Amino acid sequence: MQRKHPVLYWLALFCLLTSAAPVLAQDEADLPDLSETPDLLVAKGGALPLPTEEELRERLGKLRGCLELKTNPVVKGYIRTYVQSKTEKTKVMLGRRLTYFPLFEEKLKEYGLPADLKYLAVVESALNAKAVSRVGATGLWQFMPYTGKDYDLLQTSAVDERSDAVKSTEAAVRYLRDLYKQYNDWALALAAYNSGPGRVNSAIKRAHSRDFWVIQKFLPQETRNYVPAFIAATYICNFFPMHNLDMVEPDPDEQMTTYIRVHEAISFQDISDATGLDYGAIRTLNAGFKRDYVPQSEKGYYVLLPQRVMPAFLRYLNGLGGRRYTIESLKATPNTNLGDGRYWQLTVSVQQADHIDRVASMLGCHPDHLRAWNNLTDDQVQAGQRLHVWRPVFVFKHSPLRIDALNPEAGKAKKTESGGSPAVSGTLAADPVPVLKREEAEQFKQYQYHTVRRNESLDEIARQYGTPAETLRKLNNCTTVTIGMRLKVKEL
C-alpha cells in the first residue's frame, strides 16, 4: 500500500530510532552504543573479553552499595561499550578516578551518603569537568543552569561553578540528599536526578508502585536506562582489570590534591609564579574559571592544587596582607627525600595480610591510588607483599633552589623499634629509601617543567609560558612533543 506522506513517515521513524539512545554524557562519542544487540557478550575479533552471565552476576554480587546491582541486557550493553566500543575513552575515564574519587568520597561522607554514589559522575560526564551536553548541562555532575542556581552554583562571564570540582560536588551531594529524603529509595532518587522529580512522580502514579523496575517503562527513554547505566559504571570501575583495561594515569600533581577557598583576586599566572606549578595543571584542576583568574569575592572561590605546592600558595596568600589562610588537614613537613623534585617513593613491606582499605589508611593514601601505583587487582594485600607509595616533596617557598626552604633535620622520620616510620604501623614496615644529596638535586631545581597534555603542541606550550618555541626545542632537544612528555620550559 502506497503511503500518502512519505516525508512524515521517515521523520517519525527517525525520531523513534533516535529516542532509544540515552543522553547521559557530554558528547555522543562518549555515550554507550546500544545499536547492537545489548546482550551480545561474545568478544569480536581482537576486542577485549566480556564477562559471561555467570561472571557478571558473581562480580556484581560481591559489591555492596546503595541499590541492588541487577543485571539485564541494557547493563550488559553498557559494559560492552566500556570494554569494546569506547575502549580508549574508558581508559581516560578510569584514570580520572584518581583525581576525583577521593574528593567525591570526602563530600559524600561529610553529608552521610553512600560512597558508591561517586559512580554517578561516571555516567553523567565520564569524569570530565569541562563536559557540556547538547542541552547545556555542564561539569562533572552535569548541572543544568537552573538546577545549578538552585544549589548556589554561580554562573557568570568569568566563573561557572558547575565545572568547579569542589563546589559542584558539594551541590550534587546536597541535591542527591534532598532527592533521597523525598523518595527514601536510591534508584528513584537517581532517576529523579536525571529527569527531575516531576517525571518520576508521574511514573509512580501511572504504575501504582514505588519500585524503579516496575515504573521503568513509564519513564522517559533516557531515564529508563539511567539506573542500568549506573550499575554498569559501578561494574567497570571495580572490575576493569578483568578486561585488560589499562587506565591512562594522570600526572601525580592531578592525583594528590587539596583545595582552599580564596577571596582575593589572583591570576593563574600569580599561582604559577608563587608555586612553580605548570600553568596547564592549574587550568586542568580549576576548570570553573573561564578566564584563567580567580575573581575577588566575599564568599570566595575554591582553588584546587597539588598538595605539594599548597604551603607555598598559603605563603603567597598570607603575604597579600588580607585574610589569614590555613588548611588544618594539610600535613606538610619539610622533606629530606627529594625524589625527582616533586615526589619521592616510599617502599613498605606488608607484615600480615590485610584489606587494601586498611593498608591505604595506614599509609595515608587513597585505596585507588595504592592500586594504581602497584598494579593491584585484589582487595586483599598479602603478607610479605612490597608496596610503593608516592609522597609529595612540599614547596614552602618557590625559588630557583627550592631545597633552600627545607629543613633537613625536621624531615627525618624517627624509626620505631620495628623499623617502621611513625605513620606506618601494624602490618607495615618501611624499607630504607636512598636520599639524594643537594648537589644531585640541583638538576631538578634549575627549570620549571611542563607535562604535555592531549592536543598540546610545542607552539601552544611556548605561548603559555611566553617563551619562543625555538627555545623550547633547543632546551629539550626535540622538534615534536607527545602526551606525557615532561618539558623544560623556563629557567628558574
Domain 446-491: what homologous superfamily?
Answer: LysM domain (3.10.350.10)
**Below-50 pLDDT ranges, the chain:** 1-29, 31-45, 400-425, 431-445
Query: pLDDT tens digits, residue range 199-232?
Result: 999 999 999 999 999 999 999 999 999 999 999 9
Identify the pLDDT of residue 411. 37
Residue with cell string 501511572:
206
Catalytic one among 105, 124, 249, 254? 124
Identify the burial level of 94 via C-beta atoms within 10 angstroms of its C-beta, where 0-12 means exposed, 13-18 middle and 19 or more buried: buried
The Cα–Cα gap between 362 and 424 comes to 6
The Cα–Cα gap between 420 and 348 comes to 9
Question: What is the DSSP code (8-state) at residue 251?
Answer: P
Active site residue 88: no
Identify the pLDDT of residue 140. 98
Cell (9 digits) for 1? 500500500
Domains in the chain: boundaries:
21-243, 252-318, 343-440, 446-491
The yes-or-no answer to whether 21-243 and 446-491 have a common fold is no
Identify the pLDDT of residue 47. 61
Identify the pLDDT of residue 332. 81
Identify the pLDDT of residue 492. 57
Sign of CA dihedral 361, 328, 151, 95: negative
Kindly report the CATH class assigned to 21-243.
mainly alpha
